[in-house]
Chains A and B, each alone.
Chain A
Amino acid sequence: MLVDDIKPTRSGLLLVRRRMALAERIHKLLSMKLDGMMLELVKLTDRTAQKRRELEEKYNRAREMVAVAAMMEGATGVLLAALSVEMYPTYTAGHKNVFGVQLPDLEPVMVKKTLDQRGYGILGTSSVIDDAADAYEDLLEEIIASAELEGGVKRLLDDIERTRRRVNALELRIIPELKEARRFIEDQRDEMERQEWTRLRRIKKIKAKRRTGL
């Protein structure tokens, strides 16, 4: 029901007061949620930045290891070892709830492998291949962890934006409008009361005049 549709009656006033109380309660809750999400965002952003730095370090390490592997075994040797992979790394995607926001929860699957699981023969390769494989497994894990945090930050930011719009709408539009409506109804009712009072006085005067006229 729009504010304009509310009639300046006692029931209309009660309705506006109820809606006003509800709007203020929602505003308070959403403000608290916004503050909580902001705190969570700050924490998450710090962790994301830290993870991103670690990711860069791991990337550089992986590049260095693959460079050494390419030097010692040749691109051919590295590719042959890569061809041996039998179980491809992947991840499972779940969700975790933070302030009602569904943040991604990614779990690496078959990223860290044992020597047996990697698929290449130990006798046909050297330790540089192990080092390169280790470095790239670490890098993949870091990418998944980083993606989880960055995805969380993005969703949290979206929700903060949405919540902020709601808080602003309540604070700057709905609550002022309801206040305005309440004042209008109260004014109208006061006016009506005054009119009624005046009417009653006038009737009383007319009745008194009639009585004296008899």
Chain B
Amino acid sequence: MPLCGLISPSCIYACTRFRVRRTTLLPREEYLRIMRMSIPEVVAHLGRREYGQELTDLAHDFSGAQLIEEAVHRNLAQSFRHAIAIAPGDLQTLTGEYLNRWDIANVMAVLRGTVHGIPRQQIRDLLIPAGEVDSALLDRLLRFTSCEEVLEALQGWRLYPVLAEYYRICGEQGVFARIENELYRQYYAGLLDLGSSGCSGCEELIGYLRFEIDITNMRNLLRLHCAKEACDIATIDRTMIPGGRIPIELFRRLYGIDTEDDFVNAFLATNIVPVLAQAIRELRQDPNFSSFDAAELVWRRWHQRRRPLHEVEVAVTRVRLHQLEALSRRHPFSVLPVLAYLERKRYEVANLRAIVRGKTFDLPPERIWQYIVL
């Protein structure tokens, strides 16, 4: 698939538009200002920006933090659908594929809601139609009373084959978790396939995706290790996403390691350590924090069977986004500026949500600030 291989004018135009849209996102100072506001002030402030229309539409049904969350989600969905619409040709295919993760969340919510008999309006409020499965189709899915009907209506969806293959008996214990995991695995496999088409910036995109997969796998391995019950190799295989730089074999080996030296040595060999060390350096303002310190920190959490620190996870996300933006500047007319915009928009919404939810729970501002991705 020669995606923007010759850099067509439409591709240049679309990439420029995405770069311009990137500049319209909230800057750091704006977040600092919002942090000092009360919830009603935040609503009023966002109402004067691009979220005004959504806030007005939803003000009848929601209020406070819930109103802001619903409005920013609706705005996110609209922005992403607009992004799919303006991306030309194969760039559109890749953007659609990238946004498929929202469809997975929506489809799983509909299936679970259908099985558990949850009120349809409640499910509707949880859906964020930011992917290819649009609002009209989601509304239609919500009208069905059985999973078979939902599956039948989803036959045109990219990931339908996975759904059909792994779906056995609707309502069987644990089947949805398995389907969900498999959908995400297939999602990354599809993205890597598209990325290997040789387009401009695709090599970097694959590198970025593979790094994201490694981070996700390592995080999930820590989660599995923290669980009170020991998991078997089959569970690790089912949970790890293939295609990353770190082979799944290494994750299997890491899971069984019980000594510090072995763990630190194995972990230092991965590409996660430099990014983790950089993230912690920035988080703690400690320029002397080395890769070895980072590996030891992970070992301590691993040994104590504790999950990763949320602040560190957020810091790693910050570094990851900065890397993506650096890549997008290096390849200005490729798929990377599009993805950089989509990710930034996603985290703008996450930041606003974190601020208002943090304020609702009366968390101190410095604690809320740790969860902001800038």
Real binding pair: yes
Give chain A's interface residues, CB within 8 Å of chain B: 63-64, 67-68, 70-72, 74-76, 79-80, 83-84, 86-87, 112, 114-124, 126-128, 130-131
Contacting pair B176 A121 (CB below 8 A): yes
B239: A residues at CB distance < 8 A: 122-123
Inter-chain CA distance A126–B222, complex, in Å, is: 11
Q: Is the CB of A71 within 8 A of B176?
A: no
Do A115 and B113 have beta carbons less than 8 Å apart? Answer: no
Question: Within 8 Å of chain A (Cβ to Cβ): is B344?
Answer: no
Whether B307 lies near A86 (C-beta < 8 A) is no
List chain A residues, Cβ under 8 A from B113.
83
Residue B358 is within 8 A (CB to CB) of chain A in the complex: yes
Chain B residue nearest to A79 in the complex (CB): B126
Task: Find chain B residues with CB under 8 A from A124 CB.
Answer: 104-105, 108, 180-181, 184
The segment out of B39-47, B157-165, B225-233 that lies at the interface is B225-233
Give the chain B neighbours of A130 by CB distance below 8 A: 223, 226, 307
Closest to B70 in A: A76
- Which one, B178, B216, B314, B357, contacts A67 given CB within 8 A? B357
Interface residue from B220, B307, B350 paired with A122 (Cβ < 8 Å): B220
Bound-state CA distance A68–B314 (Å) is 12
Q: Which 4 A/B pairs are nearest by Cβ-Cβ distance?
A: A121-B180, A67-B361, A123-B184, A71-B354
Interface contact A71-B116, CB-CB below 8 Å = no
**B-side contacts of A116, CB under 8 Å:** 174, 177, 235
Closest B residue to A129 by CB, please name it.
Answer: B223
Q: Is B192 located at the chain interface by the 8 A CB criterion? A: no
Closest A residue to B188 using CB positions: A123
> Does any Cβ of A come within 8 Å of B109's Cβ?
yes
The A-contacting residues of B in range 154-175, CB under 8 angstroms, are 173-174
Contact residues in A for B266 (Cβ distance below 8 Å)? none
- What distance in Å separates the Cβ of A32 from its nearest Cβ neighbour in chain B? 45
Q: Which of B112, B173, B181, B313 contacts A127 (CB 8 A)?
A: B313
B345 to chain A, nearest CB (A): 15
Assembled-state Cα–Cα distance A87/B177 (Å): 13
**Chain B: minimal CB distance from A211 (Å):** 109
Task: Say if the beta carbon of B142 comes within 8 Å of chain A.
Answer: no
Closest to A117 in B: B174
- Do A123 and B185 contact each other (CB < 8 Å), given the known contacts A72-B310, A72-B350, A130-B307? yes
Q: Which residues in A have their C-beta under 8 angstroms from that of B123?
A: 83
Point out the residues of chain A lying under 8 angstroms from B371, CB to CB.
Answer: 68, 71-72
Judge whether B191 is part of the interface by a CB distance below 8 angstroms: no
Which residues on B sit within 8 Å (CB–CB) of A128? 310
Q: A68-B310, A115-B224 are in contact. Are A80 and B229 (CB under 8 A)?
A: no
- 4 additional A-B pairs beyond A74-B350, A119-B177, beta carbons within 8 Å, are A75-B69, A80-B112, A121-B108, A121-B184
Contact of B358 among A67, A123, A126 (CB under 8 A): A67
Known: A123-B185, A131-B307. A71 touches B173 (CB 8 A): no
